[in-house]
Amino acid sequence: MDYLVLSPPVCPPSEPPSGAFILASALSGHGYHTGFLDLSLEFYHRFFNENGDSPGLQRSLDYLIQNATYAPMLHRTAAGAIHRVLKTYTDHHPGWTLTAMDLTPPVPVHQPLAINQLLQSDEPFISLWESTVAKAIQSHRPKKVLVSIAYLSQLPAAISLMHYLRQNGIAYTAGGSLLRSLHATGEGFHLLRQVIDPIDVSNGASLLANMTERDFLSRLAFPQVISEYPYLSGRPVLPLTLSTGCFWSGCLFCPDRDMKYIQLRTDALAQFMSTIPGSIRDQRPVIHLLDSAMPPNRLRAFMPLAKSFRLGFYGFARPERRLTDATFLRELSESGCLMLQLGVESGNDALLNRFNKGIHPKDARRVLQASAEQGIRTYVYLLFGLPGETDMEREDTRQLINDTIDAVDFLNLSIFNLPRHCELSQRADEFNITVDKYAQTSSTIELYRPFTLAGSSESPRKSVRSFIANRFSADPKIRQAVLRTPKWFRAAHLAMMAINGRNEQD
Ligand code: SF4
């Protein structure tokens, strides 16, 4: 084996971690024998096996693994039973907390040196490395080990894994989107360097001689998947992307505007699909398109491929005017689109304009209604608390969702965080923003900064929380969509959720 890509726990056990999987796919596409080992899958299943007699656990796992479509109430019951078991992790490892998407240590997770110190005396991962990583290295003898870290939830295990690899004389390189983001726009990269080294902040291209990031993504093939445990998903979910960076690249608060915009070639997408193993293809995979925003021209190129391979798919879209075209949405639906994650963000046009969002509530209303009419599930992303947002502007958002509720299947409500590096941070004075000093210490990694607005000493996040709880989620019509949106196993499972009038792709 040329490369073994490891993804430390924890990432949600419902689909392969996207960055690690794309890295392994690109190396495979360039002709390198590449193995992919998702250690979250191993971590969770081992914990489930140790707790096999917990009431309802096996029935709940079977429900999530064996059904291609989920009934919302049964899904909620199954996820609840699984969480009751995950909560007992803390009985075995005092101070640690485990959920289906997070593993929190008993020290601040933003402090790599504190985690490193903790692991000297409290090390919950070593038996996992011995039974999985050691075995994979012995069986496959990779020339190079790559460790991909995308989320903070992976940081404690990633640091532990580095110790293990170093102690056993196994050469590795670490990379992944968490490290890339911190390097490009965050604070505290040097702290990570003290515990995770060496680090490669390219998208993987620098592993190959004379390779640009664009060329690296021009070939993709299914890697060798090493774990034998199943994902908690009735249909296999496969990460893929049509682009990296963002085709719009205009929002003032976006930290990723400087990221190179790369469109993937149609032949790379076709190469990937034609290499999906038959055993997976027979289970009608769902492609999770990872784009920050799916570029319409790339989506058009992807649709016939998805249709010919009989795949389902879902991904992020900007609710723009061109997405109001009923013919286009019908074709999208017929080609297998199960769900659109729609960045509606606000119901107030002036607010969206102030931050150069380039989208308009009147178009968002039409996109929502037209998508639902074509049987495409809608997962609506709202962003409250943009600097200077007024109660009236928040009320417009509530009204938009209330008016279109029959077309809103799921809701994601988030509260604005100020990225450390973005145009808005640079123009803070113009927006009456006072950027605060770090609340924590110089031993903390940060992607965001605390802030207040002129005339107030309190973070705007507090008043936003109150609006969401007392006005938005309390709206009786909106409440249905809030309750329908599960807390756990979100995006991937939502595309498979049974909703009246939406496609099921039998
Ligand atoms: S659409 Fe998203 S990724 Fe693109 S610029 Fe705006 S915030 Fe950034």
Token digits of residue 15: 């689909």
What is the CA(245)–ligand 1 centre distance, in A? 9
Which residue segments constitute the domains of the chain, with CATH numbers given?
3-51+88-216 (3.40.50.280), 236-416+460-494 (3.20.20.70), 420-458 (no CATH)
Ligand 1: atom nearest CA of 293 is: 1
Q: Got the DSSP string for 274-318?
A: HTS-HHHHTT--EEEE--SS--HHHHHHHHHHHHHTT-EEEEEE-
Q: Which atom of ligand 1 is nearest to the CA of 256?
A: 8
How far is the centre of ligand 1, averaged over its atoms, from the C-alpha of 251 (Å)? 6
Q: How close is the Cα of 243 to the center of ligand 1, in Å?
A: 13
pLDDT number for residue 440: 53
Name the residue of 292, 357, 386, 422 whose CB sits within 8 Å of the most ligand 1 atoms, as the mutation to test its pocket: 292
pTM: 0.95
Residue nearest to atom 2 of ligand 1 (CA): 292
Ligand 1 neighbourhood includes 248 CB (under 6 angstroms): yes
Query: Which atom in ligand 1 lies closest to the alpha carbon of residue 250?
Result: 5
Record the tokens describing residue 326, joined without a space.
């009923």
286 Cβ closer than 6 Å to some ligand 1 atom: no
**Could you tell me if the CB of 356 is within 6 A of ligand 1?**
no
Nearest CA to ligand 1 atom 5: 249
Q: How many angstroms does the Cα of residue 318 sit away from the middle of ligand 1?
A: 9
CA–CA separation, 418 vs 428, rounded Å? 10
Query: Is 250's C-beta closer than 6 angstroms to any atom of ligand 1?
Result: yes
Distance CA 416, CA 383 (A): 6
Task: Please list, residue by residue across 328-351, b when 16 or more beta carbons sit within 10 angstroms of its beta carbon and e when fewer do.
Answer: bbebbbebbbbbbbbbbbbbbbeb
Number of H helices, E strands in the chain: 23, 19
* Ligand 1 pocket check for 416: Cβ under 6 Å: no
Is the C-beta atom of 273 inside 6 A of ligand 1? no
DSSP type of residue 117:
H
Atom of ligand 1 nearest to the CA of 357: 6
Separation between Cα atoms, residue 98 and residue 10, nearest integer Å: 9
Give CA–CA dist 37/5, Å, rounded: 6
CA 262 to ligand 1 center in whole angstroms: 14
Q: What is the largest CA-CA distance in the chain?
A: 64
Q: Is 292 in the pocket of ligand 1 (CB under 6 A)?
A: yes
Q: What is the pLDDT of residue 372?
A: 97
User: 251-254: long-range contacts at Cβ-Cβ below 8 A with a sequence spacing of 24 or more?
Assistant: 251/355, 251/356, 251/357, 251/358, 252/355, 252/356, 252/422, 252/423, 252/424, 252/427, 253/355, 253/386, 253/416, 253/418, 253/419, 253/422, 253/423, 253/424, 254/419, 254/422, 254/423
- Amino acid present at 125: F
**Ligand 1 near 345 CB (within 6 A):** no
Q: How far apart are CA 238 and CA 240, in angstroms?
A: 6
**In degrees rounded to 5, what are phi and psi of residue 261?**
-90, 120
Which tokens is 65 given? 């693994």
Q: Helix, strand or coil for residue 338?
A: strand
Whose Cα sits closest to atom 8 in ligand 1? 254
Cα separation of 451 and 149, whole Å?
28
Residue 505 CA to its chain's centroid (Å):
24
In 51-176, alpha helices (H) = 57-66, 72-86, 89-92, 112-121, 126-128, 134-140, 155-167
Mention every residue, 6+ apart, whose C-beta is less than 8 A from residue 100. 12, 13, 14, 44, 79, 82, 83, 86, 488, 489
The response to whether residue 249 sits with its C-beta less than 6 Å from ligand 1 reads yes
The protein residue whose alpha carbon is closest to atom 7 in ligand 1 is 254
**CA-wise closest residue to 342 among 365, 326, 325, 312:** 365
Phi-psi region at 232: left, alpha or beta (left = phi > 0; alpha = psi -120 to 50): beta
User: Tokens standing for 383?
Assistant: 């962003």
CA-wise closest residue to 222 among 15, 3, 39, 36: 36
Q: Residue 463's pLDDT is what?
A: 86
Q: How far is residue 51's CA from residue 56's CA, in Å, rounded to a whole number?
A: 11
Q: How many angstroms is it from 246 CA to the middle of ligand 1?
A: 6
Strands (E), 110-226: 144-148, 172-175, 224-225
Residues 6 or more apart whose Cβ sits within 8 Å of residue 252:
355, 356, 422, 423, 424, 427
Answer yes or no: is the C-beta of 246 below 6 A from any ligand 1 atom. yes
Q: Map residue 484 onto helix, strand or coil.
A: helix
The closest-lying atom of ligand 1 relative to the alpha carbon of residue 253 is 7
CB 33: neighbour CB atoms within 10 A?
A: 15
- Please identify, by atom number, the ligand 1 atom nearest to the C-alpha of residue 249: 5
Residue pLDDT tens, the chain, 506 long: 999 999 999 999 999 999 999 999 999 999 999 999 999 999 999 999 999 899 999 999 999 999 999 999 999 999 999 999 999 999 999 999 999 999 999 999 999 999 999 999 999 999 999 999 999 999 999 999 999 999 999 999 999 999 999 999 999 999 999 999 999 888 889 999 999 999 999 999 999 999 999 999 999 999 999 998 999 999 999 999 999 999 999 999 999 898 899 999 999 999 999 999 999 999 999 999 999 999 999 999 999 999 999 999 999 999 999 999 999 999 999 999 999 999 999 999 999 999 999 999 999 999 999 999 999 999 999 999 999 999 999 999 999 999 999 999 999 999 999 998 999 999 999 999 998 765 556 788 988 888 899 877 777 788 899 999 999 999 999 999 999 999 989 878 999 999 999 988 65
